[in-house]
Amino acid sequence: MADVGFADLVDIYRHTRFDGNGGGTLTIATPGIAATLRAIEADQSLYDLTQVSLVEPVDPVVGSQVAINVAAPNLKLGILADTFEKLFLAPGAAFVEPVSYFVIDGGHASGDAPAPPVLLAYRAMLAVIALLKEAASYVIELQRELVFIGAESVVVPIKFREADLTPSLTGAAGRLGTLFADPLHTQEKAELLAAAVIELAGGQRIDRRFQFIVSNLEQVCDEVEKGYRLFVSSFSYSKIRKEIETARLDYINKIHKTIVDIQGQLLGIPVATIVVVSQLKLSKGCGVEFWTNCAVLLGTWIFVILLWLAVRNQWYTLSMLAGEITGQRARLDDDYAAVSDDFVDVFDDLDARIEWHRKVLVGVSGLALAGAVLATVAFLMLTKTGSASCLVGG
């Protein structure tokens, strides 16, 4: 069976003058259209899939016009709709824009640019429906229904006409989307949206509820915004202080842990750098003293390198904690601006602790490096001239 896709059908649709009665006159403008027609005429299964056929059995020739019968193709190929309104009634189109479609009125296919205003408004409508789905108690997709359960149960069938897709819908949908753009308190916002829908649409005829919601979407936004402001302003100050104090103790433990984790290495600094100097002996040749001194010095520098790696890792940990604390401070300023000043000292204290620990790490690194340099100087002083040739076999 020849491979005929929806793009091939779109090519046919674009060159057809539809008569409104399931047929039309096709201008065979390209060899591709001619080849598609031949393939369909030769294969019954392709006809069943595409629902395109010649009225009279003729050989399709480029440049000629032929009468064809056209019906809706198999849904797995795509959707052929007379108008956008009929497209919106297609299975699943109440929740997501169909992937492949062609609208006869206007000759618009999926993927065409620019999109007409009605399609832009439809996409805005889908964004609103997606938010309503999140707020609904449950969704019956096959019946295109949203069910909201509160003080009463309200069923909202998703029914709308092309006339409902006005340019103002795009702005109202954007406003509602902005309310939910911040992931903070998403569940509470969804509950507020559900309550607004129940209050607004509960008294309407069931078949008019969705259209009423859409036409009053600005009012829905007002109710959600008002409810959210009330929710934010009704927080418990003591609860916030408790949460901040808990976070403070957690961060203090994490900050202090950056030193505790490398405590063993820190205790080894005197042994590995300064004390080892006492193990160095005067070396006059390539004897045991020389090789012992080399081993001691090498061990010192290996320790310093390993310590530097540990310090660098802890430095990165402190940087990560500093970023988290800054984010916590910003969220507090955004969500609870009225009391955020009361907790400035908490964040300042955490910032100061991080800065102090960074200085400790710098000091530790400097001390270890100084000890290694001291050991190196002692090694050079105790190694007589010419002993270094032992390393190269001289």
Domain positions in the chain are 6-90+97-109, 117-233, 237-392
Pairing of strands 138-140, 145-149: antiparallel
Position 194 scores a pLDDT of: 93
Q: In the predicted model, is pLDDT for residue 305 greater than 80?
A: yes
Position 81 scores a pLDDT of: 95
- Average pLDDT, integer, range 128-138: 94
Q: In the predicted model, is pLDDT for residue 179 greater than 80?
A: yes
- Give the integer Cα–Cα distance in Å for 76 and 53: 19
Position 357 scores a pLDDT of: 85
pLDDT in tens, 91-120: 899 999 999 999 999 899 999 999 999 999
Q: In the predicted model, is pLDDT for residue 388 greater than 60?
A: no
- Average pLDDT, integer, range 278-291: 69
Position 89 scores a pLDDT of: 92
Chain-wide mean pLDDT for the chain? Answer: 85
Comparing 327 with 10, which gets the higher pLDDT? 10
pLDDT in tens, 231-266: 776 655 656 777 888 888 888 888 888 777 776 666
Position 377 scores a pLDDT of: 79
Token representation of residue 6: 């929806």
- Average pLDDT, integer, range 133-138: 93
Position 386 scores a pLDDT of: 55
Comparing 329 with 11, which gets the higher pLDDT? 11
- Average pLDDT, integer, range 77-91: 94
The sign of the torsion formed by the CA atoms of 136, 138, 144, 146 equals: negative
pLDDT in tens, 330-362: 887 777 776 677 778 888 888 888 888 888 888
pLDDT in tens, 163-177: 889 888 889 999 999
Q: What percent of the chain has pLDDT over 70?
A: 88
Binned at pLDDT 50, 70 and 90, residue 11 comes out as very high
Pairing of strands 145-149, 153-157: antiparallel
Position 332 scores a pLDDT of: 79
* Cα–Cα separations (whole angstroms), residue 46 to 23, 53, 80, 216: 18, 10, 16, 47
Q: In the predicted model, is pLDDT for residue 139 greater than 90?
A: yes
Q: Residue 152 corresponds to which amino acid?
A: E
Position 152 scores a pLDDT of: 83
Does residue 29 come out as left (phi exceeding 0), alpha (psi in the -120 to 50 range) or beta? Answer: alpha
- Give the integer Cα–Cα distance in Å for 40 and 43: 5
If you count them, how many residues does the chain have?
394
Position 78 scores a pLDDT of: 94
